[in-house]
Every structure is written in C-alpha cells, then in structure tokens.
Amino acid sequence: MKQLLIPLRKGVALFLAIYFLCLALPIKSERIAPLDKDKLRLQLALMSDLHTEGNNIGRFKINTQSVKHLDAVKDTADALVLLGDNTMNGYGGEALFFYGLMETVNPIRPYYPIIGNHDVGNGDASKGSFEEQRERQLDYLNTFVDRSLTELYYSKTLHDYTLIFLAPDSLECHERNYSDAQLDFLEAQLDAAAERGKPVFVFTHYPASHVEQGYARYRALVTKYPNTFVVVGHMHYYVRFDTIRGGDYRTPEIWVPCLSMMEDDGSPNDKSGLGFLMEAYDETVVFRGINFYTGELTDVEQTYRLQTQTPAEPDDDDIPIAIGY
C-alpha cells in the first residue's frame, strides 16, 4: 500500500510546487567559485530551519528565492544538506510543499533532509504520537530521498567521505533524546569511517548541549576519533563555532542559522537566507558563510586544519566564536 502512495505523493508535491516555480522564474544567480576548485574534494551546501508553513507566504518567498540561488554553486556542490525543521508543524501538507520545493526549484542532487523537532510535532501530542509523526516523516523520506530507509536516521558516502544524519527519538520538545539503537548506529558508522581515514560529518538538528537522554554517550562517540565534524541547526539567529569535549579529541560543532528568518510582517531582512558552504580539502575543512537569499558570500569563514582539530584562526584560544545576526 505504501509503495502505491509514492507516485501520488510525488504528483501532489509537484502540483503544489507550481507556486514555487512562479516565484523563482525571474531569479538569476552569479556563480560562486570554491576557494580552490582544483583541490576541492567535497562541497556541501548547508541550510537549516526552513519552517515551511502553509499559511506563511513570507517564508514561501524567502525559502524559494534562497533555494533558487543554489544555482550559484550547482556546478561544484556535491549535495545539499537540510538540517531539520523543514516544516513548521509536521503536517503532511507542509511536507508536500517542502519536497515540492526541493524537487522543482532546487538544482542540487542529491539532497539530504534531516528531521527536527518541528517536523515531529514540536512536543504537541495533539498532532499525533511520536510513532505516528515518525512514520509520516519516514514515508516522505522514502518517497523523495531513499526508498530503502527504515529509520529517520541514516548515512551516505560521497567521494569516500562519510555523512551521518541523526534524528529525534521523541516528540523533542522537552525530551531531546537519542535512543540506544540510534547511538549504536552512530557508533558503528564512526568506527567504519575511521578505517577510511577521511573526515566524518555528523548532521543533527540540536547542539550537543541541548541533548538530554543519551548525552554522555553521544558526546563520547563524536569525540572518539579525530577529524569528526558535527553540524547542527535549531538555534536560528546566529552562527557559532563551538567545541564538543568528552573523549580523546576536540570536535568542532558548527551552528547553521535559520534560513527563513524575517520581519514580523513577513518581509525579508538581513537575517534571511543565511547558511553555509562546506568545502573539504586534503588538509583543511572550511565553512564559508553565504546568504542564499541574495546569492552572495558573507564575511563569515572558519577554517579547520585536519588532525589538530583546532581552527586555523584564531589559534587555540579555547573560546567559541559566536556571530550574531
């Protein structure tokens, strides 16, 4: 029965996306080159917190223009990663609008969404139990991303780099949990990736400091090996280059701001469309700030040198860098 619903969901999503296509038609993007195209090993476009909401036209406009401006990096980006809260309320209609935008306006393939607290009801049990919300989101992931998924968490390999995508294990309002099963999955993925000798990228919605159940084990796992990078969303209005401790290595934690920030009247502002380009090279990993709404780079840039796991600048002063927007 579920397999029969896949073409129906795709058809509805594509029909709803006509609205996005109309919004995106006049937008043109100037190409943004990598720092060093010849030495680039992996480039990811990073967006978070689109909060697709059925009655919020302002967000539709900001998200559509920002996604259209992915044209600026489509020639070099290996994938787009969406760091959760893709929808505001977790409703099926919102998910169809979100995936319609990804399928029609987004020029980058593959794209990998992860699930945030708003995608599973944001703690509101009246929208369904966690299991019901989980099944709904899993159905959409299997329709548009990968038909083989059995859990909301999953992993992919691109150019021999391991990408790990984590997900909520509860309604996620007051219980920001990782189950033992998901942490077992994370441990197995990290152990296997360590044998490749490449940097590993863990994508999850919440910063480590917001995790409750499973926190100690999660922190120990992501700091077990060198050259692990954790990339998160959820915090909305500012960028932070933080550090997770708890094991043998210091692990960078990069906070990606909310893409759909706007004024109270729904109009865009200087916080709208913010995200990152992540570029992996043989000796460094660089996070470059980008305003996807305008299609221009920002002045935010952070370089991590591999092995040492410390930022290139400033030198190891042990103080997280936070940039307010």
Over residues 113-142, the pLDDT tens digits come to 999 999 988 777 777 788 888 888 999 999
- Asked if residue 253 lies in contact with residue 208, where contact means CB atoms within 8 angstroms, the answer is yes
The CATH number fitting domain 2-324, selected from 3.40.47.10, 3.60.21.10, 1.10.1040.10, 3.40.50.300: 3.60.21.10
pLDDT score recorded for residue 325: 32
For the chain, the maximum distance between any two Cα atoms, rounded to a whole number of angstroms, is 57
DSSP string, 14-55: HHHTHHHHHHHTT--------S-TTT--EEEEEE----B-TT
**SS3 assignment, position 198:** coil
Between CA 188 and CA 200 the distance in angstroms is 13
Query: Which residues are within 8 A (CB) of 170 and not within 5 positions of it... i.e. 6 or more apart?
Result: 130, 176, 177, 213
Phi, psi of 233 (to 5 degrees): -120, -135
Record the tokens describing residue 169, joined without a space. Answer: 């294990």
Cβ contact 274:296 at 8 Å: no
255-284 core/surface letters (b: 16 or more CB in 10 A; e: else) = bbbbbbbbeeeeebeebbbbbbbbbbbeeb
Low-confidence ranges of the chain (pLDDT < 70): 1-8, 15, 21, 24-25, 171-175, 308-325
What is the rounded CA–CA span in Å between residue 148 and residue 284? 33
The confidence score (pLDDT) of residue 36 equals: 97
Q: Is 197 exposed, middle or buried (0-12, 13-18, 19+ CB in 10 A)?
A: exposed
Let me know: does 83 contact 50? Beta carbons within 8 Å. Answer: no
Spatial distance between the Cα atoms of 198 and 157, rounded to a whole number of angstroms: 11
Tally of CA atoms within 13 A in the half-sphere of 98 that contains its CB: 33
Task: Sketch the domain layout of the chain as residue ranges.
Answer: 2-324
Q: For position 8, what pLDDT does the model report?
A: 67
